[in-house]
Amino acid sequence: MRHARALVVLLALAAGLVACTGGSDAAAIGSAGAGATTGASLGWYEELAGQPDKLDVATTVAPISSLARNIGGDRIRLRGIVPDATNSHTFEPSPSDAKHLAAADLIVMNGLRLEQPTLRLAEASKRTDTPIKLLGEATITEEEWLFDFSFPESEGDPNPHLWMNVRYALRYAELMRDWFSEADPANRDYYAANFGKLKARLDELDGMIRQGVASVPEGDRKLLTYHDSWAYWAREYGFTVIGAVQASDLGDPSPRDVAALIDQVRAEKVPAVFGSEVFPSPVLEQIARESGARFVDALRDDEPPAEEGSPEHTYYGMLKKDMQIMMEALGGDPTIFDPFVVTDTYRS
């Protein structure tokens, strides 16, 4: 069924890769010639031909891929385009990514202008009958968009990090259940059953987060981060984001902004400031040092813990680790999350 479309995919790759990629990649494809591109694609087709037919799904960032895996389970062939610990705002996909996008029966992206280079490649590479689904736009309305220092309203791009809010992550999963079922109705019941297991796990996590937040002294429920990934989480769980260090051009703030943040952290007696493993920031460390706050640089918003393929490398594992780190640093009880199981739910 889907593999019969492979010849269409091969033609799209041969004609489309040069058109949709730039710089050295485009030059390399052009110099290699159409025969080299087609030969590589035929090898890939032979790999697919020996596999059971499945729904081919392309996703972007790791948390979305994790949720998709727990809905699709072993009935989908999943390809996450954006590598872990990569800035998805600026990530430039490669010609090999175009191959996977061209093969996809369904492309699922966060949207809200998070993955613009990947979106452009997907639009240029995909088959005409392959839908691109945007989770963010299907989850909240424009009236619910949040803007902040990293995503100022004057530039028009909203904060796209909805998945950090567990209730929005659940909506993402619900949407993917429906999209997978529409594309592959024969497995509708399987996707629905997997969604039920995922929902139970996320409901448990949501309750634990509310308990964890309640354990933090009310005056300490404040966040200063580098990249503002926590705006929707904070709105849901009763925290205040007092600032984000990273400017809208993804650079460091001005000395004046740094001084203002140091004064604010001192005035509000913020116990800890939080960095990101994707965006290491000496500036944030300076703010912590000069304000007297603790500097914690281990929060993750798009990189599940442990190695890819390990049991802990899940959306659940990422949120559990984040919550334990955050609650401990702000005077709350991180042990609330100890019983939470982080392995894939579709396997249970």
Q: Is residue 86 part of a domain?
A: no
Q: Indicate whether 245 belongs to any domain.
A: yes
Instruction: Fill in the DSSP letter of residue 306.
Output: S
pLDDT of residue 36: 28
Phi, psi of 272 (to 5 degrees): -150, 150
Q: What is the pLDDT of residue 149?
A: 77
Q: Can you say how many angstroms the Cα of residue 11 is from the centroid of all Cα atoms in its chain?
A: 31
Task: Classify burial at 196, counting beta carbons within 10 Å of its beta carbon; exposed 0-12, middle 13-18, buried 19 or more.
Answer: exposed
Report yes or no on 103 lying in a domain: no
| Residue 33: predicted pLDDT | 31
Task: Tell me which of 116 and 35 has the higher pLDDT.
Answer: 116
Average pLDDT over residues 134-161: 93
Above 80 in pLDDT, residue 19?
A: no
Helices (H) and strands (E) in the chain, counts: 13, 8
The whole-number pLDDT of residue 247 equals 66
Helix ranges, the chain (H): 6-20, 23-32, 34-49, 62-72, 95-103, 116-125, 135-139, 166-183, 188-215, 231-237, 255-268, 282-291, 315-329
What per-residue confidence (pLDDT) applies to 41?
36
299: β partners: 276
Supply the mean pLDDT for the chain. Answer: 85
Which of the listed residues 11, 35, 52 is the one where a domain comes to its end?
52
Provide the pLDDT confidence category of residue 131 given band limits of 50, 70 and 90: very high
In a domain, 38, yes or no: yes
Given a cut of 90, is residue 108 above it in pLDDT? Answer: yes
Candidates 193, 203, 201, 253; CA nearest to 224 is: 253
Q: How do residues 215-255 score in pLDDT, each as one tens digit?
A: 999 999 999 888 789 999 999 999 999 887 776 666 777 88
User: Looking at the DSSP assignment, which residues form a beta bridge with residue 106?
Assistant: 57
pLDDT at 83: 87
Residue 207 included in any domain: yes
Number of domains in the chain: 2
- Residue 27 scores a pLDDT above 80: no
Whether the per-residue pLDDT at 3 is higher than 50: the answer is no
Segment 306-310 mean pLDDT: 87
pLDDT for position 297: 86
Instruction: Please indicate, yes or no, if residue 192 is contained in any of the structural domains.
Output: no
pLDDT attached to residue 20:
43
Is the predicted pLDDT of residue 13 greater than 50, yes or no?
Answer: no
Note the pLDDT tens digit of each residue in 247-274.
666 677 788 888 988 999 999 999 999 9
Q: Are strands 294-299 and 272-276 parallel, antiparallel or unpaired?
A: parallel
Least confident range from 100-104, 139-143, 238-242, 295-299: namely 295-299
At residue 306, the pLDDT reads 87
Give the residue numbers spanning the domain of 308: 200-337
Tell me if 165 is assigned to some domain. no
- In tens, the pLDDT along 150-196 reads 788 888 899 999 999 999 999 999 999 999 999 999 999 999 999 99
Give the CATH number of the domain where residue 246 resides. Answer: 3.40.50.1980
Q: Does 287 reside within a domain?
A: yes
pLDDT value at 93 more than 50: yes
Cβ atoms within 10 Å, residue 7: 12
Closest to 332 in 3D by CA, of 248, 201, 222: 222
